Structure 1
């Protein structure tokens, strides 16, 4: 690739994983989390003992000029209410602010290994990518991403969940398995799901006739530790 094109590409790389044009959508009024005061058990997530991660992938014919990205939430809110009688009727929610997502810490990339660890990212590139992420996801208008539990089934250590995910003011329903470790005072939930920009009214960005592009799909992954609440 000519030097001039490489320089132009380098300037645009921070945009690639999140350079999307949001489609205006009506606001979504999320259902209130209001579990019964009697019976059952309430669990609240401990963010310091949990991981909530988004992984985005470079794309296009010149993808190797770009980077994959790892985003994690240092702070988020999550809680789950389980009835005494079983999983039917369970209620739960998880909410994270987009502007509180951290991006591409060197230790995360080193732990991931492979292509995530092949090229370092400097602080300036990370900051530019973070700004472009917030702009692309229309974070000023829709600053939060949230999951709301619709249905829980299965049996420990394998649960099945149906959730509504709200992103960019648009809601989509997903079904997923969960790996579960349940103790007397601690509950661990592990799972992941595949999201697409296009499913939430976002158009993946491309540049130079598609030579550089972002993949439509991203992975949402979590390893949540929840503590039994006292109430």
Structure 2
């Protein structure tokens, strides 16, 4: 009986944490923007001892802007217009993202995300290509990532098919001075490593 009660309490707290706490007054999330030729998404993975009570999340850059200087693309987007867990995108990502996320949980996730990233002080993320190596379908790309007021250089691999480029890079929040989100003494948390995926179409 005691074990059952404790489990019910954890589930209830997980709902409140939602992926964490939902304030009494939560600003409405912007509608999910339509998909365009360019897309950048961030995969956020659940952690902590009670991780199975939470959700993995996917964020999509709602105002992705891409410039094409000679060195390669420069991507910019604002944190405050990120689309949080759009249902069609979750469906595309398979079983790890198959759980349903309701509007209340999505709103709570958005609020905690903006707080953890200090989006009011650092609203924009910039990914600037510095150099490319290789040729053909696979390129090694060095980019400069600015997040949370911190800039880091990172290498990653990009697949090129004509004017279309697809890439993926692992970003650790702690490298940018961000404390990964955690509640309930670490029972529910967000893993430090994020997977950033992008697809770009050169005009």
Q: What is the rounded CA distance, in whole Å, between the counterparts of 1:226 and 1:91 in structure 2?
A: 10
SS state of the match for residue 202, structure 1?
coil
| Deviating 4+ runs (over 3 angstroms) | none
Q: What is the rounded CA distance, in whole Å, between the counterparts of 2:153 and 2:13 in structure 1?
A: 39
SS state of the match for residue 142, structure 1?
coil
The corresponding residue for 2:167 is 191
SS state of the match for residue 2, structure 1?
helix
Counterpart among 95, 120, 142 of residue 140 in structure 1: 120
Q: What is the rounded CA distance, in whole Å, between the counterparts of 1:115 and 1:158 in structure 2?
A: 27
The corresponding residue for 1:97 is 78
**CA-CA distance at 1:125 after TM superposition:** 1.2
Moved more, 91-100 or 192-201: 91-100
The corresponding residue for 1:152 is 132
2:65 is the counterpart of 1:77: yes
Counterpart among 48, 60, 66 of residue 48 in structure 2: 60
**CA-CA distance at 1:9 after TM superposition:** 2.3
The corresponding residue for 1:171 is 151
TM-score, normalised via structure 2 length: 0.85
Counterpart among 160, 166, 188 of residue 212 in structure 1: 188
TM-score, normalised via structure 1 length: 0.75
Q: What is the rounded CA distance, in whole Å, between the counterparts of 2:68 and 2:90 in structure 1?
A: 30
The corresponding residue for 2:106 is 126
Counterpart among 88, 93, 111 of residue 112 in structure 1: 93
Per-residue deviation, residues 177-211 of structure 1 (Å, max 9, x unmatched): 111122xxxx1111100011101001123333322
**CA-CA distance at 1:2 after TM superposition:** 3.2
SS state of the match for residue 15, structure 1?
coil
The corresponding residue for 1:49 is 37
The corresponding residue for 1:28 is none
The corresponding residue for 2:11 is 6
Greater C-alpha radius of gyration: 1
- Kept in 1, the 8 Å contact 2:80–2:119? The answer is yes
Q: What is the rounded CA distance, in whole Å, between the counterparts of 1:158 and 1:9 in structure 2?
A: 42
Gaps of 5+ in 1: 17-46, 83-89
Q: What is the rounded CA distance, in whole Å, between the counterparts of 2:78 and 2:183 in structure 1?
A: 28
Per-residue deviation, residues 152-199 of structure 1 (Å, max 9, x unmatched): 1211222211111000000111001111122xxxx1111100011101
Gaps of 5+ in 2: 1-5, 22-34
